[in-house]
Amino acid sequence: MKLPACAQRGPEKRGIVQQRPLHCVLLYTSEDNKHAGKLVTQLAPLVTKGLLTLHRYTAHPSPPENRCSWMTEMLSVTDRILLLATPRLFNDLLWNLLSEKLRDVAPPPRFKIIPIILEPCDWQMDPLLENCQQLPRNGRDFRHPRFFSGVAEELKAMAEAARQGQA
């Protein structure tokens, strides 16, 4: 997987080194495509500003070997895995393959998993997620008009903190 051009930039004209954006993968089921689109719309200004890159991945039926090769590439460059958390996602083969692959990673992975709660589900029961911080932090229901913009604001703060070496 080739890094985007903005992740490969050299020094800027003023001598300030352009830090790479926060690389995020958005993982969701096809049933949640509409919600994923709303989140992507809210994140578009952050992508435009170079604060983050966003790769969408829909859980869909495909041979397990294709999913495993994708996961290996994705895990090597990502900083955050954003999960649109629903019972459907955690019952999907993709989550089972991903969580199995993550358990096999010897050193702790450099990325963080962030569940974005769309529906009540037992996401904290999964050992990989039990210490994760959900978004939105205020527990706002996804039907609230500011749900997706609130998630985008929190991701912007994470991206800015990462640029300053605080994340």
DSSP 10: -
- Amino acid 68 reads C
What pLDDT was estimated at residue 153?
Answer: 94
Task: Tell me, yes or no, if the pTM score tops 0.85.
Answer: no
What pLDDT was estimated at residue 107?
Answer: 57
The closest alpha carbon to 90, from 128, 135, 36, belongs to 128
Site of tokens 């500011």: 146
Joined together, the tokens standing for residue 95 give 């989550």
User: For every one of its 167 residues, what pLDDT tens digit does the chain have, with 9 covering 90 and above?
Assistant: 443 444 333 333 344 444 788 899 898 888 899 999 999 999 999 999 999 999 887 765 555 556 566 667 777 778 888 989 888 888 877 777 777 777 776 555 677 889 999 988 888 887 778 788 888 888 778 888 899 999 999 999 999 988 887 55
Q: For the chain, which domains are there?
A: 20-163 (3.40.50.10140)
